Structure 1
Amino acid sequence: MASSRQKEALARVLAHEGGYVNHPRDPGGPTNKGVTQRVYDSYRRSKGLGAQSVQVISMKEIAEIYDRQYWDAVHGDELPAGVDYVLFDGAVNSGPKQSIVWLQRALGAAYKGRVDGTMGFSTIAAVNAVNDRDALIDRICDQRLSFLRQLRTWPTFGRGWAARVAEVRAIGKAWATNAAPLVANFYDGASAKAYAEDAPAAPMTAPADAATGAGIGGGVVAGTLQSLQDQLLPFSYASEWIGKVIVVLTIVSALLAIGGLAWSWYARRKAKRLAEAMGPA
C-alpha cells in the first residue's frame, strides 16, 4: 500500500504534469498526466491487455505505473522526507536513472560508489548520512537545472522546466524541515519530457586539430620558401614573386593555426560542460 507521503508526492507530481499533451517538440510524444503512450503500452502488455490511447488511462492505472516505475525505482520509501519527492519528480520528468545520477553527484564526497544511476545500498546509506537535507535538495535541483539547460529543447520548454524545478526545490525543502508541504502548480511546458538523448553531441576537435596542423605546416613551407628567396636574391623577379607567396602563406597559416586552436579550446570546453551537466546517464 502506498505511504501517505507517496500519495502526497504523487498529487504534486500530477499537478506539474497536467493533462493530455502532444507537443511536436516533446520527445515523450503523446502523454497524459505524465504517462507517455510508450510507457502505457508497455504497462498494458504486462497485464495481458490490448493497446489503447493514453488519453483514456484510468487513475488506477496511473497510480500503479507511478508506484512501480518511478517511486519504487528511486526507492522512495527508503529516502528521507523531501529527498524522496525531489527524486520522484525528477524520475517522472527525465527517467529514474537520470534522477538518481543527479542525487549521486549531489552527494559529493559522501558517496563513495560509482555514479551510475542505480539506487543501491551505498547510495541510500550516503543519503541517510547527510544531516543538511536542505543543502542536498539544493544540489540535486542545481544538477537537474544544469542538465536541462544543455538540452536542445530548452529554448522551447526551459521556462516551464525552470519554474517546475524551483517549485520542486521549495516543496522538497519544506518537507525536509517538517514544514507544511506547499501546493504544486502547473506551468506551461513543464510537463515536456527531458531526456539525456536530447542533448547535442559535443563538438568534434578533429577539424580544429587539422586546421592547426595545416597552419603549422604552412608556416614550415613559408620558412622553406624564405630560405629559397635568400638564395635567389640576385634574381630580383623570382625573389619578389616568392616574397609575395611567403606573405600569403604566412597569413593563411597564422589564421589556420589561430582558428584551429580557438575552436579546439571551445570544443573541449563545451564537451567538459556537457559531461559535467549530463553525467554518465
Structure 2
Amino acid sequence: MQSNFEKSAQFTASREGLYQCNRADPGNWTGGQVGHGALVGTMRGISAPVMVRWLHDPDMVTVRVMQSITQETFSAIARTLYWRAINGDELPAGVDLMLFDFAFNSGVARAAKQLQRVLEMDAKQIDGDIDEATLEAVFNMSQGKVLETLSDKYRRKVQADLGVTVDGDIGPETINALFEQKCRWRVLIYALATQQEAAYRSFRAFPQFGRGWLGRLDARVQAALQLAYP
C-alpha cells in the first residue's frame, strides 16, 4: 500500500509548535513526570522522554539538544517511533493518519488499543500492537458493528455525509446508504474520532488544554477524510 507518511507527518508538524518549556508539563521532563529528571522542554512535539528514548541516554538530552531538533530529526523520530509502530504503510488511507497523529499526541499503545476495541477483537488481542491479526480485522470489519460504536455526534456526521435524515438513529435508510455509497473507511475514521474524543475528555488536563485537543481532532478528521476520499 502506498505510504501516506509524508502527508501525515506534515499534518502533525503543522499542529505542533517549536520549542517550549513548561514546568507543569510531564513531557518537558526527561523522567516523564514533573520533577523527575531534568527540565529540558519539548520541540516540534518531540517530548523530553521521547528524546531520551531516541538517544538512549538521559544525560544527552539537554535544553540545547531539544532546541536543536530539526525538521529532519522530527521526521526520523516520527517515522521510526510512531508510523512504523502503528504499521502505517499497511493501514487504509485516512485511518493511517487518524492513528498516527493521535499516537504522536497521546501514545502508540492507546491509539492501537482504541482501534482494536472498535473492531471488537478478543480481549487477549487488545494489546496495543497493530499486527497481522489487527490488520485482518480492519479489512474484514463489519460496517454495521463499527457504526454502533459511534457517538451521537459522529452518527449525525455520517448521516449528513450520506445525505440521509440526520437524527442520530441508525436505521435502514442509513445502513442502505452506507453500503450503496461504499463509505466503510469513513465509518472507521468516525469511530476512531469517537474514541479519541472520549480519551481527551478523560485526561486530567482537559479543562486547560481540551479546546486545543478537540480542535486538533476536528482538523485530524477532515485531513483523514481527504486522504480516504480524495
Structure-2-length-normalised TM-score: 0.69
Q: Secondary structure at the match of 1:28?
A: helix
What is the distance in 2 between the residues matched to 1:74 and 1:174? Answer: 20
Q: What's the % identity of the aligned pairs?
A: 31
In the TM superposition, 1:109-188 aligns within 5 A as 111-112=121-122, 114-130=125-141, 132-177=184-229, 179=230
| More divergent stretch after superposition (5-14 vs 23-32) | 23-32
In the TM superposition, 1:1-281 aligns within 5 A as 5-29=4-28, 30-45=41-56, 50-53=60-63, 54-108=66-120, 111-112=121-122, 114-130=125-141, 132-177=184-229, 179=230
How many correspondences in the alignment? 173
1:50–1:21: structure 2 CA closer, same or farther, 3 Å change rule?
A: closer
RMSD: 2.1
Shift of 1:4: 5.5
**Amino acid paired to 1:60:** E
What is the distance in 2 between the residues matched to 1:37 and 1:79? Answer: 29
What is the distance in 1 between the residues matched to 2:198 and 2:61? Answer: 37
Shift of 1:114: 2.3
What is the distance in 1 between the residues matched to 2:186 and 2:68? Answer: 38
Could you tell me whether the CA contact under 8 Å between 1:45 and 1:51 is conserved in 2? no
1:95–1:134: structure 2 CA closer, same or farther, 3 Å change rule?
A: same
Q: Structure 2: give runs of 5+ residues left out of the alignment.
A: 29-40, 144-183
**Amino acid paired to 1:63:** S
Could you tell me whether the CA contact under 8 Å between 2:44 and 2:69 is conserved in 1? no
1:78-113, Cα deviation, whole Å (9 max, x unpaired): 1010001110001101110011011112223xx346
Q: Secondary structure at the match of 1:35?
A: coil
Larger radius of gyration: 1
Q: Secondary structure at the match of 1:60?
A: helix
What is the distance in 1 between the residues matched to 2:55 and 2:214? Answer: 33
Q: Structure 1: give runs of 5+ residues left out of the alignment.
A: 180-281
